[in-house]
Amino acid sequence: MSQDFKFIVLNNAKELGNKVEEHLKKIRKDNVEHLVAVNQVRFSNGEAKVELQSSVRGKDVFILADVGNHSDTYRMFGKNHAMSPDDHFQDLKRVVSAIRGNADRITLIMPLLYQSRQHNTNGRESMDCAIALQELEKMSVDTIATFDAHDPNVYNAIPLMSFDNFFPTHTILNEFIENENVNYDNLLIVSPDEGAMKRSRYYSSMLGADIGMFYKRRDYSKVVNGKNPIVEHKYLGREEEGLDYIIVDDMIASGGSIIDIFKVISTKKPNSVYSIATFSLFTEGVEIFDKAYEDGLFNKIYSTNLSYVPKEILEKEWFVSVDCSEFLAQVIDNYNKRESISPLLNGKLEMLKKIEDKKTKK
């Protein structure tokens, strides 16, 4: 049974949030306005506050935030500053604080999980993701929904709290199958490292394809930018010419690793090379991708709009942005109706049928 709900979208997720709102109206076949206006104030010394423009008392409240949006800025001591993930997370907690416990239930939708890359510790390191989740638990957030968490095992930090890790796999693959003509009998799913093997196996099962893996050989005698530098990407898998490759990962950060993998695969004379990543950060710019594309190292990169992607990248010939707003609206609708989310996580048979249909048409 559905319950009256309100939808709070932070400034960092406005574009995505507005699309989700339109899909919610279509799914629920009503024209009810679910969005709650939020005033995010930033003072000249950098301090901030958040004010809700209408009541959410007794409502089922959903909050959408993109902690990776680096396009948001604010003025501090007369200078312009880009919003960092830390700034976004503080504003997120301010929204929860402004609700003051008056909501019936609070569901936080954070597609890019805050500090997800710092999900465990080695030695004297902080464990930021776990601490952040525990903070939200103490603030009486009922459910956290995220997408393709770097390591979903961080959920162990809040074992008594509802934590759902969704994958946009079906949405991305639907787009891929519609747009691309690959030989599914000679398709190889490639994991960029050992940590991404579970994700790669999932894609492999969805597409009925074989799987390969790269092993990152690191120089543990050095530390560069907080990490041991990668010396070599060693490939483990089928060694054939003329294969179609899909490299899958949760995110593209600087892009150095994926470019190195493109170069290794190019020596195997592939038929086509694609990359699928839930989040595309491009922290060091896109010049190396432009060059790799010009050199014929890859065909396309598929990614989602679940986190901010600059306009200049969206306009690239080699980049495909997959709209996940309808899927996100379905997630919210199921939550609100207290229905199982399992139907949103399945779909293998449907995917295999689409592939078979495409084979038949050839």
Q: pLDDT (tens digit, 9 = 90+) per residue, 108-161?
A: 999 999 998 877 777 778 889 999 999 999 999 999 999 998 888 888 999 999
* pLDDT for residue 197: 86
Total domains in the chain come to: 2
Query: Both 61 and 190 in a single domain?
Result: no
In contact, 255 and 275? CB cutoff 8 Å: no
In contact, 297 and 275? CB cutoff 8 Å: no
Per DSSP, which regions of the chain are E strands?
A: 5-9, 35-36, 38-42, 48-52, 60-64, 73-76, 79-82, 105-109, 143-147, 162-166, 187-191, 210-218, 230-236, 244-252, 272-280, 300-304, 319-322
* pLDDT for residue 20: 97
Among the three residues 115, 141, 166, which one is the final residue of a domain in this structure? 166
Task: Say how far apart CA 289 and CA 39 lie, in whole Å.
Answer: 38
> Is residue 34 included in any domain, yes or no?
yes
* pLDDT for residue 325: 97
> Is residue 307 included in any domain, yes or no?
yes
Following CA atoms 145, 149, 152, 156 in sequence, which dihedral angle do they give, to the nearest 10 degrees? -60
Query: Both 216 and 161 in a single domain?
Result: no
What is the residue range of 41's domain? Answer: 5-166
- Kindly report whether the global pTM for this prediction surpasses the value 0.95: no
Looking up residue 174, the CATH number of its domain turns out to be 3.40.50.2020
Query: Both 143 and 193 in a single domain?
Result: no
Query: Both 70 and 30 in a single domain?
Result: yes
Residue 18 structure tokens: 């507005």
* pLDDT for residue 221: 66
> Is residue 52 included in any domain, yes or no?
yes
Write out residues in the chain with pLDDT < 70, as ranges.
1, 219-222, 224-229, 231, 345-352, 358-362
Nearest Cα residue to 354 out of 186, 246, 206, 210: 206
> Is residue 227 included in any domain, yes or no?
yes
Residue type, 106: I
